[in-house]
């Protein structure tokens, strides 16, 4: 099997694996929809007091909420992607088997996570977003080209998300336990990705900092591309730059870990 076909098969396997959890998917759809309604009314109250906060009108703020709910699991913003499995395999020593595979370790896990992300977007993200569009006024584009530009930004967001979580998972080579870093990625993911509040609404120096961090590539960039608030090429450049930096850092950490760290249990 060629290398390209191999990673496509790995991605398909990741998709099928998560597709088997039907009850969890249904529960996730319900949860995301309920939280979306709560956040929408919270945002509407906030935008009544602060019109055009962050440069958004109310319809854009509502759109941002439902996009966040649609991408919450897709991008594993709070964690819970393939990095959990990777952490477990490092801790038990099963990672040694992965290293013997005739495949690139980072690309293998990236392909698996992209398959997971695709299922979560279709299985858990589309229904809450559609519900929001039917029930609340949203600022959705009519041009097919805008939707296509959004999908490119979303793909880049998936890669950046994986690259962050891959680095976190590799830390278990030294820490031997992933609970602490999992909690850290949960907190940083929720805050710095803009899930709580759009990063455009953060004031002053704090706003400049959070919009320059890689988490901004996950939700803020795709949202602004979808709503026409930023130039797609500029968004792609920002996302691609962070993807390259983080994946390269993952390569370096992976190389150091596999050369110098004794695999526990293997």
> Which pLDDT band, with edges at 50, 70 and 90, does 2 fall under?
low
**What are the tokens at 140?**
């959705």
Nearby residues of 125 by Cβ (< 8 Å), 6 or more positions away: 32, 69, 70, 71, 72, 73, 74
Please give the helix or strand (H or E) that residue 33 lies within, else none.
helix 22-49
Least confident of 19-23, 129-133, 142-146, 230-234: 19-23
Least confident of 15-19, 120-124, 175-179, 224-228: 175-179
> Which pLDDT band, with edges at 50, 70 and 90, does 76 fall under?
very high
User: Would you state the pLDDT for residue 100?
Assistant: 82
Burial 162-194 (b: 16+ CB within 10 A, else e): bbbbbbbbbbbbeeeebeebbeebeebbbebbb
Res 3 pLDDT > 80? no
Res 129 pLDDT > 90? yes
pLDDT tens per residue, range 184-198: 888 888 899 999 899
User: Would you state the pLDDT for residue 257?
Assistant: 84
Res 266 pLDDT > 50? no
User: Would you state the pLDDT for residue 263?
Assistant: 45
Average pLDDT over residues 50-57: 92
Query: Residue 212, exposed/middle/buried by CB under 10 A (0-12, 13-18, 19+)?
Result: exposed
């Amino acid at each position: 099997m060629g290398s390209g076909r191999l990673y496509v098969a790995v991605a398909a396997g990741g998709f099928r694996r998560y597709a088997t959890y039907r009850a969890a998917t249904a529960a996730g759809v319900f949860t995301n929809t309920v939280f979306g309604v709560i956040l929408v009314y919270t945002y509407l109250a906030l935008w009544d007091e602060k019109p055009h906060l962050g440069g958004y009108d109310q319809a854009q703020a509502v759109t941002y909420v439902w996009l966040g709910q649609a991408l919450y699991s897709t991008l594993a913003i709070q964690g819970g992607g393939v990095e959990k499995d990777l952490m477990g395999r490092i801790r038990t020593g099963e990672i040694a088997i992965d290293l013997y595979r005739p495949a690139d370790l980072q690309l293998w896990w990236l392909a698996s996570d992209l398959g997971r992300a695709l299922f979560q977007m279709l299985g858990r993200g589309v229904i809450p977003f559609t519900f929001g569009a039917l029930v609340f006024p949203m600022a959705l584009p009519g041009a097919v080209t805008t939707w296509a530009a959004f999908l490119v930004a979303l793909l880049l967001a998936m890669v950046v998300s994986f690259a962050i979580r891959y680095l976190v998972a590799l830390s278990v080579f030294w820490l031997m336990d992933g609970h602490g870093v999992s909690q850290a990625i949960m907190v940083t993911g929720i805050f710095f990705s803009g899930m709580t509040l759009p990063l455009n609404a953060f004031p002053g120096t704090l706003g400049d900092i959070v919009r320059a961090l890689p988490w901004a590539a996950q939700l803020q960039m795709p949202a602004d591309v979808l709503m026409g608030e930023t130039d797609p090429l500029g968004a792609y450049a920002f996302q691609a730059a962070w993807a390259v930096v983080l994946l390269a850092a993952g390569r370096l950490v992976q190389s150091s870990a596999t050369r110098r760290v004794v695999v526990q249990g293997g």
